[in-house]
Amino acid sequence: MTVLVFLDPAFPDGRVADSGTPAILATDQGVTRGDGIFESLLAVNGTPRKVQAHLDRMARSARSLDLDIPDAGTWLRAISTAAATFASASPQGPDEHGNTNIVIKLIATRGPEGANATTAWVQASAVPPLLAEQREKGLDVLLLDRGYDSTISHRAPWLLLGAKTLSYAVNMAALRHAHSHGADDVIFTSGDGHVLEGPTSSVLLAQLADRGGAPVKRLITPNLDSGILPGTTQGALFAAAKEAGWELGYGPVEPQDLFRADAVWLISSIRLLAPVNTIDGQAVGTADVRSRLTAELSALLAQTH
């Protein structure tokens, strides 16, 4: 089931709507043009995780699209209404840590054609079971060319590459391509050969080394200004890993860095840390190191808010 809560000035805590009844005009530009933005976040035991980072990124996306969206307080009240309504309508069983999880989506579109009024709502739904399975079993991934070079976002900001827009048809097509070739997911590369991100995730790699007898652990992610979405999960994990003694690095990352890494992950707010087993059919690191580091970093991520 899905709970919908519209941000409506007549309802300070949001207007709960029946998700089985049409609620958006067919002329809404979110529908006709994919002209809008969204965020997906996890609510754990009713509390949204990293909510400020998501609201900040939503505000940045809105600025990139010149879209007026409701203020943070209005979103927060609607999120609480959605989480509470979903929890009472569809109580979720506990996960492996005894927590209940809900997916919260924030969506804002440019509204009906000619109306100059943003449509905004919050959606609450269950976490798809596939995601826990992918965390557990890992992913087979294909490298796919995104067709842009890594500096395009500066030259062509109208491509909105660093914004989380509703125009995800390309990302979904890439995933279908991977599935039809027996893989689970995708890592996009740029025309100039850099590793970028997944269609719904950030890319992370670990390098282990020995520096004069002292073990060194490095966590690396592609440059945030290479036309990728800055991940809130990557940001939170980097902060926690730094505290725990990891060295941090930002790209450029090339495909050979992935193949030489001790472990590679796709990371995002709902799926969290999903280890990559193979890329283009080639094993990445070893299963032992992969599962040890996944456990270590997942524990760090679980402590972030």
Binding site for ligand PLP (CB under 6 A): 40, 197, 200-202, 229, 231-234, 268-269
Of 288, 256, 260, 290, residue with least CA distance to 276: 290
- Judged by beta carbon, residue 111 or residue 198, the one nearer ligand PLP is 198
Structure tokens of 96? 């492996």
Residue 170 three-state SS: helix
- Judged by beta carbon, residue 118 or residue 268, the one nearer ligand PLP is 268
Minimum CB–partner distance for residue 53 and ligand PLP (Å)? 7
- Judged by beta carbon, residue 231 or residue 285, the one nearer ligand PLP is 231
- Judged by beta carbon, residue 112 or residue 134, the one nearer ligand PLP is 134
Dihedrals φ, ψ of 217, to 5°? Answer: -120, 125
Neighbours of 67 (CB within 10 A): 21
In the DSSP assignment, the letter for residue 157 is: G
- Judged by beta carbon, residue 185 or residue 262, the one nearer ligand PLP is 185
- Judged by beta carbon, residue 233 or residue 294, the one nearer ligand PLP is 233
Neighbours of 22 (CB within 10 A): 8
Minimum CB–partner distance for residue 279 and ligand PLP (Å)? 17
Structure tokens of 67? 């879209």
Strands 47-48 and 214-221: unpaired
Residue 224 three-state SS: coil
Q: What DSSP string describes 33-88?
A: H--EEEEEEEEETTEETTHHHHHHHHHHHHHHTT-----HHHHHHHHHHHHHHHHH
Minimum CB–partner distance for residue 111 and ligand PLP (Å)? 23
Minimum CB–partner distance for residue 37 and ligand PLP (Å)? 12
Minimum CB–partner distance for residue 213 and ligand PLP (Å)? 35
Minimum CB–partner distance for residue 231 and ligand PLP (Å)? 3
Strands 272-279 and 202-211: unpaired
206-214: long-range contacts, CB 8 A cutoff, minimum separation 24 = 206/261, 206/262, 206/263, 206/264, 206/293, 206/297, 207/260, 207/261, 207/262, 208/262, 208/289
Q: Degrees (nearest 5) of the Cα angle 164, 168, 170?
A: 130
Minimum CB–partner distance for residue 214 and ligand PLP (Å)? 31
Minimum CB–partner distance for residue 80 and ligand PLP (Å)? 20
- Judged by beta carbon, residue 111 or residue 231, the one nearer ligand PLP is 231
Q: Which amino acid is at 283?
A: A
